Structure 1
Amino acid sequence: MNPPAFEELKCCLCKELYKSPVMLGCGHSFCKICLDEKLQAQLERKCPSCQERLKPNENPTPNILLANLISCLVRQRKELCESHGEKLLFFCMNCETAGCMVCKDSAKHLRHTFLPLQEADEIFKNKLNYAICTLEKRFQSLKCEIGSQEEEVKKFTMTQVQMERHLKSEFLSLHLYLDSIEYEMRERLRQESEASTQAMTRNMFVLETKRERMENSILRMQKKRDTSDIRDFLADIKDFLQEFSTEQEEEMKTEIRVEAPTLNAGLYCGPIQYMAWENMKKVLQPGISNIVLDPATAHPALCISDDLTMISYKPSKVKENIDTPKRYNTMIGVLGSRGFRSGKHYWLVDVGMKEEWILGMAKDSCNRKGEFDVTPEQGYWTIKRSKDGVYSALSSRPIELPVQDRAKRIGVYVEYEAGQVSFYNTSGPAHMYTFTSNFTEGLYPFLSPCENERQIMRIFHLKV
């Protein structure tokens, strides 16, 4: 059976099978789009085939019969083999194409596996169903990930807003305090200046009054001196001079002095910023915690100063200490004497030029015996400087820290409720690293000078 010819079913304008065929009054049919384009290009509307003029109100009508015929023939053609014109009954699994009985026995498909179309349809639909199911699972997983990401974006945005508010609040407190100090000093300067100005004004009034009286005395004496009649001049000269003498004696009783007050240059032109800083220490939140060490927890090789603020490594001292449950017996470390169970705290450690050290926080039940890793899993949140100058946060896997300037003093900040332990290089100052966790017991300062003789670590105490 030969495949049907489609030449009679092609539009004469586009030479393709009719698409949405329409028919003119003359009986000729065209693709709707082709005819519309042709008629728009003409000055006078005519049939493209026979050139018959279209009536003024004539519009092409859909050729439904022709459209149905083309649809039916196309559908039949899809069911026939293009090579042999036979009905497609099989599917070649090797070539992945449909074939007829002739194709199955042809040399082109020699030793190929053929399946009935229905069976092949079922196999591939099952594969598609499996692929769809897998993709839907991945799609659902992706939706969950998107939801989680959206939540993270919200949390991050909220955290950013909270941090901005915190920064604004903290600096506003500083600004308000500095403004109050500035106001007090300026008000004091104003009051002192006003008092001094009033004193100088009063003295100026006194001096001006004395000047006027003195001018009057001079004028009277000049007038008396210039009296032309000798008798008049001498008539009362003695009384005149006595009166003048009495006036001068009264004037001499009033001291003539210049008021020259001075303002306190040491107070108003001194180290204002330093004085303000000294005052600010009283209101810093959190204030610097003056930590002291607990000798009962110190490794036997550690030497602690009498004021419990300095430690150094001295292995010759080991014999002097007896091991106790609270004491480190392998780790060269010591804990602070006071723990934190709430609130915000900040303390400082001078490490100077020490080559190696570890410091941070440890929970009350931290391991203190034998060999162990100083990690959060063991109850430690610490940073370390190695002998090679590398700084690292001692997490489950050490994280190298990008420290620019050598850290000679380290600040440790604890915010218990927020589960935060942060470290700062105060030489910068620069943030070094932050641990986050969920604290459920007391946290104690932890220090380890490592095995470095003649080098000390000192807890910094701020004296207000």
Structure 2
Amino acid sequence: MAAAAAAAVQSTRGSLREDLTCAICCDLFREPVMLACMHHFCKSCISRYWRGTQGPVTCPQCRKEFSSKQFQTNYLVAAMVEKVRATTSDAYTKNLEKQLKEALESHRLRKQDFINSIHRDKEKMNIIKSVAADLQARVKSEFQALHQILHDEEACTLEQLRREQEEELVKVQHHLEVTEQAAKELEDNIKALQEASTATQDIVLTELPALRPCAQVDIAPEFDINAFSNKYLAPLQYITWRRMFKSLKPGPSLLTFDVDTAHPSIQVSRDKTVAVESNVMTHHVNHNKRFLQCVNILAAQGFQSGRHYWEVEVGTSPKWDLGVALENVNRHARIKLSPESGYWTLRLRNGNEYSVGKQPWERLRVRSSPQRLGVFLDCDERRVSFYNADDMSLLYSFANGPRGKVFPFFSPCITDSRHKPQPIKLLHYPPAALSG
């Protein structure tokens, strides 16, 4: 197609050159002049052609006669001739060929870029489809497990209701049978007595007829409909939801603070679920487990396999650090929190500045300030994720998480004198497990 276009351009140029060629010298016009018959010639050529001619002169092309040697300069044709002469020069042609080559190469490169982009887009689409298929399978598996839990709870509850119904029915059925038997025996005795009463009209009765002994019937068993119904009219969904916690994988981890790791300015509650920074230094035995330079503390529970989730209440505290730390982090030096130092964390400063624990810190946009945070640790896939526990929206996820044993990490940070220290609370939910 490009060759055809080039040939067409070349043909057009050839035709134009012929139109601008002098019929006398067979070259491009030089100072083109036009005769009255509209034919053009070089000024010097037509002057030389008419030289020595006396009287009328003729046009070299059409042979038309003119009474005098008159012509006029055609500036438009002259300009066209100069343009053709310039565009047909070797320098111009080479420059044009260079531009054509560069344009062609540029388009080829752009085309290759587009082809590469198309390949990348198709590869991305295949990756998205593959990842989405894996995620769909995982989601279905997770919900299937929940469905199974609910199915088992439903079957267990219905079986319990069936057994209790059967027990009540057996008690009433037994009393019904005994009562019916006693009524039949009384009916037989009444019949015998009625027959004896009729016989006394003809003979003298000397003794009562033989009567069947009547069975003793206990008082009918009470059926307390309220007691029978209450447990099934209770908030079954809530009760089942509470029971589900023991079957969730992962279920909320029941963490407690490890007092032996607490910086001396951290006070821990008696039940080891609340930690708060204090101006009063607590006397502790110093050992390798304790943080001495930074106001940090770890949980007593560590993890190195499986999936684990826990929630932390930070309330309205203007500053804190949360996440996980490797077991072997240096606890006696002041170290910047980052994966390179063995920490995967999220932090808050100045009440609304959220950052990811990297060096340098990476600012994080958070739509609303969470008062409860969830931390999800997947040891097998090496992922650490942070959630707003109020609506379970994802705040950030480390894709290249820790290897080896890690412990939940917390820092209430040092509070300035203008603010009251705010505690960090480990949430245990539900507060108590229900018996099955």
Normalising by structure 1, what TM-score? 0.66
Any idea what SS the aligned residue of 2:310 has?
strand
Of 196, 200, 208, the match for 1:239: 208
CA 153–321 in structure 1, closer or farther in 2 if over 3 Å, else same: farther
How does 1:363-442 map onto structure 2 within 5 Å? 363=326, 369-370=333-334, 372=336, 374-376=337-339, 379-389=342-352, 391-394=354-357, 396-403=361-368, 407-442=370-405
Displacement after TM superposition at 1:449 (Å): 1.3
- Is the alpha carbon distance of 1:460 and 1:226 closer, same or farther for their aligned partners in structure 2, counting shifts above 3 Å? same
Cα deviation 1:11-45 (Å, max 9, x = unaligned): xxxxxxxxxxxxxxxxxxxxxxxxxxxxxxxxxxx
Structure with higher RCO (Cα < 8 A, 6+ apart): 2
1:32-65 deviation digits (Å, cap 9, x = unpaired): xxxxxxxxxxxxxxxxxxxxxxxxxxxxxxxxxx
Q: Give the direction of change, closer, same or farther, for the CA distance of 1:235–1:313 in structure 2 (3 Å limit).
A: closer
Evaluate the alpha carbon distance shift between residue 162 and residue 202 of structure 1 in structure 2; reply closer, same or farther with a 3 A threshold.
same
Work out whether residues 358 and 449 of structure 1, in 8 Å CA contact, stay in contact via their aligned partners in 2.
yes
Pair 1:347 & 2:316 matched: no
> In structure 2, which of residues 100, 113, 123 is the aligned counterpart of residue 141 of structure 1?
113
Alpha-carbon contact 2:265-2:295 (below 8 Å) kept: yes
Change (3 A) 1:176 1:318: closer
Cα distance between partner residues in 2 of 1:168 and 1:273:
22
Q: Which amino acid aligns with 2:426?
A: I
> 1:301 and 2:265 equivalent?
yes
- Note if contact 1:293-1:334 (Cα within 8 Å) is conserved in structure 2: yes
1:231-279 Cα shifts (integer Å, max 9, x gaps): 51x333x333xx45xx4xx31x512432444564454333433432343
1:62-141 mapped onto 2 (5 Å cutoff): 76-80=14-18, 114=86, 117-141=89-113
- 1:208 matched to 2:170: no
Unaligned residue ranges in structure 1 (runs of 5+): 1-71, 90-100
**Distance in 2, Cα, partners of 1:74 & 1:143:** 35
Residue identity in the other structure for 1:137: L
8 Å Cα contact 1:81/1:87 also seen in 2: no
Q: Secondary structure at the match of 1:192?
A: helix
Which segment is superposed worse, 148-157 or 194-203?
194-203
Q: For 1:268-279, what aligned pairs fall within 5 Å after superposition?
A: 268-279=232-243
C-alpha contact 1:391 1:401 (8 A) present in aligned 2: yes
**Which position in structure 1 is the counterpart of 2:321?**
358
1:194 to 157, 166, 171: 166
Distance 2:340 2:114 in 1: 32
Q: Deviations along 1:153-190, whole A, 9 cap, x unmatched?
A: 22222222222211111111111122112112211221
Matched-pair contact (CA < 8 Å) for 2:356–2:363: yes
AA matched with 1:354: S
Hey, what's the Cα distance between the residues in 1 that align with 2:85 and 2:28?
A: 15
* SS of corresponding position for 2:220: coil
Indicate which of 385, 399, 406 corresponds to 1:443.
Answer: 406
1:158 to 1:105, Cα distance in 2 relative to 1, 3 A: same
Q: CA RMSD in A?
A: 4.1
* Alignment check: 8 A CA contact 1:391 1:402 kept: no
% same residue: 24
Deviations 1:63-99 (A, max 9, x none): xxxxxxxxx997741433559887579xxxxxxxxxx
The aligned amino acid for 1:133 is E
Matched, 1:458 2:422: no
Q: Which amino acid aligns with 1:401?
A: V
Counterparts of 2:22 and 2:259, CA distance in 1:
100
Q: CA distance change for structure 1 residues 218 and 140 in 2, over 3 Å: closer, same or farther?
A: same
CA distance in 2, matches of 1:223, 1:278: 69
Change (3 A) 1:122 1:336: farther
Task: Return the letter of the residue paired with 2:233.
Answer: C
- Deviation at residue 305 of structure 1 after TM alignment: 3.6
> Would you say 1:157 and 2:119 are equivalent positions?
no
TM-score by length of 2: 0.70
How far apart are 1:111 and its partner, in Å? 13
Tell me, which stretches of 5 or more residues in structure 2 are unaligned? 1-9, 30-41, 44-74
- Partner deviation per Cα, 1:385-442 (whole Å, 9 max, x = no partner): 4444455545542121223xx5332211011232322222232243333232254444
**Secondary structure at 1:257 match in 2:** coil
> d(CA) in 2 for partners of 1:419 and 1:109?
78
Alignment of 1:214-293 (within 5 A): 214-227=186-199, 229=201, 232=203, 234-236=204-206, 238-240=207-209, 243-244=210-211, 247=212, 250-251=213-214, 254-262=216-224, 264-293=228-257
**SS class of match (1:407):** coil
Aligned with 2:280: secondary structure? helix
Quick one: structure 1 residues 116 and 73, their matched pair in 2 at CA, closer, same or farther if it must change by over 3 Å? closer
CA change 1:213–1:307 in 2 (3 A) is: closer
